[in-house]
Amino acid sequence: MKGIFLALVMAVATFLIAGLAFNTQHATLFGIIVFLVALWTNEALPLGVVSLLPIILFPSLDIISTNATVANYSKSTIFLFLGGFMLAIATQKTELHKFISNKLLTLFPNTPRGVLFSLSITSAFLSSLISNTTTALLLIPIAMFLTDNIKLKMRLVLAIAYGASIGGIVTPIGTPPNLILLGFMEQHAIEAIPFIKWMVLTGPLALAMLIVVPFVLSLGVEDLSFEKELSDNLKLTGEQKRLMYILGSLVILLLVNSKIEPYYSGLGLNEKGILLGYGLLMFIPKIGFLTWDDSRKIPYEIIFLFGAGFSIAAAFSQTGLASEIANYLLVLTDLPVILLILIVASLITFTTEITSNTALISIALPIIYSLNEVANVDITLILMVATICASYAFMLPIATPPNAIAMSSGAVKVKDMSKYGIVFNIVGIIFVTITALVYWQYIL
């Protein structure tokens, strides 16, 4: 009850302060958002319960109607992620992730620096296929096993957490902010970024981060020997081979389906349907690997969280609050593009440190989009910058799920995460800005 009371006090205080600059409806929306973020943060109520509260609060407090709110919990983008969850559960059930991890771990020397690089890359690779939250949960126990040296163990855990965030941006299903952006683009009739094109856009950025982050983490670490949890003699089982073939066919289908303008128009299939279809394929006897009991492992609270995020974005747009904030920010659009991107990247990165990246990007996207209505800016580019930077917050546990999981391991302290995180935040802002200016703006 203490956490709920504190959230209410913060919400009322926000309402009163916001009322000085905004009308009552907008001030109320600010208060609701602070209330939701506080409950997500202090976990006074389960994540799924808090994520369903907009269905009650928005119509009750005259923000948007019940139907307008509920519609956001069934957006097609959510079903893309649902299919991804099913594939992730099948990967875990067959233990294919252990085989992949083992192979990647053996690519580097058995030294602290080598293991830091291998864990970062393994984490990033798996996060591009399954959620970064799942990846962190799967790999951090391995890091905890590899050494008893507290200093090294802390760096190994951070390498996995940071690697998961770095790799999560590579595909649309790697992390929630990516899906929120795709849902937002669909909502505003902006041409969606195809799966493969997304990977082409984000791959170079992730690669650059994967060079810098483990290198910095390895500075000053003395040589130690490691015990590997995974055997070098692991062989693919029949089930694992079948799942590899299925995942391979999925990648091929996504490639063939992708447009390469003006040379190739693709198959025209809906990627959300493709991912959901492959997820449902996991339940077909003698082809898939799952039973309906396995569906209990689907994190439905995350799906509800998406719905809450889309609802917040819809409320910002439909009440006109996004446009009003955009008017205050109009001065930014007079700046050179490089400064505009740097400011957006910095604001999103450091604001994410004190709130959920999912909640923040849900609020930020409609505000940024509204700039398009009052100034001539490449809005898709700015939206992409904001979305990626929401995942590239490395300083505090609350910023991203992998950060929180790293902290829960007991091997990492807040001061350790902050010390390395502020360096990687700055590196991420610089890399995202450079990538946006010299690469994205010519492809998006």
Question: pTM here?
Answer: 0.71
In 3D space, the residue among 137, 73, 78 whose CA is nearest the CA of residue 279 turns out to be 78
Cα–Cα distance, 19 to 238 (Å, whole number):
63
Please give the average per-residue pLDDT across 248-263, as a whole number: 72
Cα–Cα distance, 164 to 168 (Å, whole number):
6
In this prediction, residue 224 carries a pLDDT of 54
Q: Is 16 exposed, middle or buried (0-12, 13-18, 19+ CB in 10 A)?
A: exposed
Tokens for 131?
Answer: 């959620």
pLDDT (tens digit, 9 = 90+) per residue, 126-138? 888 777 877 787 7
202 in Cβ contact with 127 (< 8 Å): no
- Res 283 pLDDT > 80: yes
116 in Cβ contact with 210 (< 8 Å): no
CA 253 to chain CA mean position, Å:
24
Task: Specify the higher pLDDT residue, 333 or 324.
Answer: 324
In 3D space, the residue among 40, 58, 62, 38 whose CA is nearest the CA of residue 49 turns out to be 40
- Res 206 pLDDT > 90: yes
In this prediction, residue 262 carries a pLDDT of 52
The pLDDT-based confidence of 234 (bands split at 50, 70, 90) is low
pLDDT (tens digit, 9 = 90+) per residue, 339-364? 889 999 998 998 887 666 877 788 88
Q: What does the DSSP assignment read for 246-302?
A: HHHHHHHHHHHHS-BTTTB------HHHHHHHHHHHTTSTTT----GGGGGGS-HHH
- Res 260 pLDDT > 70: no
In 3D space, the residue among 158, 220, 175, 170 whose CA is nearest the CA of residue 195 turns out to be 170
Cα–Cα distance, 237 to 278 (Å, whole number):
21
The structural domains of the chain, with segments of one domain joined by +, span 76-297
Report the chain's mean pLDDT, rounded to a whole number.
Answer: 84
* Sign of the Cα pseudo-torsion (305, 309, 314, 315, in order): positive
- Res 186 pLDDT > 80: yes
Ranked by mean pLDDT, the top range of 196-210, 213-227, 253-267 is 196-210
- Res 419 pLDDT > 70: yes
- Res 225 pLDDT > 60: no
Please give the average per-residue pLDDT across 103-120, as a whole number: 81
41 in Cβ contact with 237 (< 8 Å): no
Task: Give the HSE-up count for residue 205: Cα atoms under 13 Å, Cβ half-sphere.
Answer: 32
Q: What does the DSSP assignment read for 288-308?
A: ----GGGGGGS-HHHHHHHHH
Task: Specify the higher pLDDT residue, 108 or 178.
Answer: 178
Please give the average per-residue pLDDT across 56-64, as a whole number: 94
Q: At what angle do helices 132-146 and 96-105 cross, to 10 degrees?
A: 60
Please give the average per-residue pLDDT across 406-423, as a whole number: 86
Ranked by mean pLDDT, the top range of 182-196, 259-273, 338-352, 356-370 is 338-352
How many other C-beta atoms are found inside a 10 Å radius of the C-beta of residue 71?
A: 16
Beta bridge partners of 209: none
Q: Interior CA angle at 92 toward 88 and 97, to 5°?
A: 95
Encoded amino acid at 257, one letter: N
How many other C-beta atoms are found inside a 10 Å radius of the C-beta of residue 431?
A: 20
Return the minimum-mean-pLDDT range out of 63-67, 279-283, 322-326, 415-419. 322-326
CA 416 to chain CA mean position, Å:
22
Tokens for 118?
Answer: 């291998």
How many other C-beta atoms are found inside a 10 Å radius of the C-beta of residue 49?
A: 12
359 in Cβ contact with 40 (< 8 Å): yes
- Res 380 pLDDT > 70: yes
Encoded amino acid at 71, one letter: A
- Res 375 pLDDT > 60: no
Please give the average per-residue pLDDT across 231-245, as a whole number: 80
- What percent of the chain is modeled with pLDDT above 70? 91
- Res 98 pLDDT > 90: no
Please give the average per-residue pLDDT across 134-162, as a whole number: 83
The 8-class DSSP code of residue 437 comes to I
In this prediction, residue 226 carries a pLDDT of 55
